[in-house]
């Protein structure tokens, strides 16, 4: 079977999505990808299959329902509210064979499964790991209370009152009124991951299958994630991730132990394995199966 896939989303155009996924999936290295090959992303009208990101509602003509799959690029709690507001569930029932999202809070066609979110492209080289640990903390006003965001702030408070060698990135740095060489501020591209051995990453919401760029980006830069979020993260990435508990005292003890005994927590991350798990293109057949 040939897969000529068009992507639709509620946040950008099919042309931009095509460029994004071709870049992060490194299609130039896949001999089965191309206009005359088995798999191809198109922004034209020649498509045989459709991927719908979030709550886009394109008019689909002559495309069998089994050739249409939805992929959540937001946490379930956001999408569930959005779907109810804009009647997307009715559209999904009529047009979508299955829709991958982070939990099973909605009936079919919505299913609990990893949804191949956008993330950074894998590094084309193995970076030097001459820095120890980092964390990114944003500064935002969320319309829905996010337990992970609150927990990130609690952990940040502890870090700032300690001497832990953890560099701090993100917009939150603008509101930290104390001199501290660990405060790095806003960042570009791979900066919080590339040269670090470890990276603390916390999803905004705790789910069974929602996995974002927060953990994928460090993995793709050969950085060991210290992670809280998806309960089943080891199902996707094996033992490449150090799991936190959400109990501040226990997680601080874990981080302190990593600082004291880093060799105990080092991982031999298989980059090709991570790519095989996160690449939309490499998993197209399974997605449409």
Instruction: Convert the pLDDT of each residue in 133-176 to its tens digit.
Output: 999 998 766 667 789 999 999 999 999 999 999 999 998 887 78
CA nearest 275: which of 73, 67, 124?
Answer: 124
Q: How far is CA 46 from the centre of its chain?
A: 29
pLDDT for the residue numbered 220: 96
Q: What span, in angstroms and rounded, lies between the C-alpha atoms of 145 and 130?
A: 36
Q: What is the pTM of this model?
A: 0.93
Instruction: Convert the pLDDT of each residue in 30-52 to its tens digit.
Output: 999 999 999 999 999 999 999 99
Q: Which residues of the chain have pLDDT under 70?
A: 140-143
CA angle at residue 192 from 10 to 264, to 5 degrees? 120
Tell me which long-range contacts 53-58 makes (C-beta under 8 A, separation of at least 24): 53/7, 53/8, 53/9, 53/10, 53/11, 53/17, 54/9, 54/10, 54/11, 54/79, 54/82, 55/10, 55/79, 55/82, 55/83, 55/86, 55/88, 56/8, 56/9, 56/10, 57/88, 57/91, 58/8
> Could you tell me the domains of the chain?
3-117 (no CATH), 131-275 (3.40.50.11660)
Can you spell out the DSSP letters for 130-141? Answer: -EEEEEE-----
pLDDT for the residue numbered 82: 82
pLDDT for the residue numbered 84: 79
pLDDT for the residue numbered 141: 60
């Amino acid at each position: 079977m040939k897969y000529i896939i068009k992507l639709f989303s509620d946040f950008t155009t099919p042309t931009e999505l095509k460029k994004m996924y071709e870049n992060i999936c490194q299609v130039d290295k896949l001999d089965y990808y191309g206009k005359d090959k088995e798999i191809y992303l198109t922004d034209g009208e020649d498509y045989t299959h459709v991927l719908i990101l979030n709550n886009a509602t394109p008019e689909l003509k002559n495309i069998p329902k089994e050739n249409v799959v939805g992929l959540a690029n937001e946490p379930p709690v956001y999408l569930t509210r959005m779907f109810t507001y804009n009647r997307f569930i009715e559209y999904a029932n009529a047009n979508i064979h299955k829709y991958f999202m982070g939990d099973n809070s909605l009936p079919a066609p919505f299913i609990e499964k990893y949804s191949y979110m956008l993330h950074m492209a894998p590094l084309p080289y193995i970076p030097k790991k001459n820095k120890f640990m980092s964390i990114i903390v944003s500064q935002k006003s969320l319309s829905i209370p996010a337990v992970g965001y609150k927990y990130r702030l609690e952990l940040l408070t502890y870090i700032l009152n300690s001497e832990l060698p953890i560099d701090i990135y993100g917009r939150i740095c603008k509101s930290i009124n104390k001199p501290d060489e660990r405060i790095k501020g806003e960042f570009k591209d791979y900066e919080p991951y590339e040269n670090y051995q470890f990276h603390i990453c916390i999803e905004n919401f705790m789910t069974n299958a929602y996995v974002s760029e927060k953990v994928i980006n460090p993995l793709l830069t050969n950085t060991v994630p210290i992670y809280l979020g998806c309960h089943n993260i080891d199902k996707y990435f094996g033992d490449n991730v150090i799991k936190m508990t959400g109990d501040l005292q226990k997680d601080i003890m874990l981080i302190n132990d990593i600082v004291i005994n880093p060799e105990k927590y080092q991982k031999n991350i298989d980059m090709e394995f991570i790519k095989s798990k996160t690449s939309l293109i490499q998993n197209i057949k399974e997605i449409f199966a």
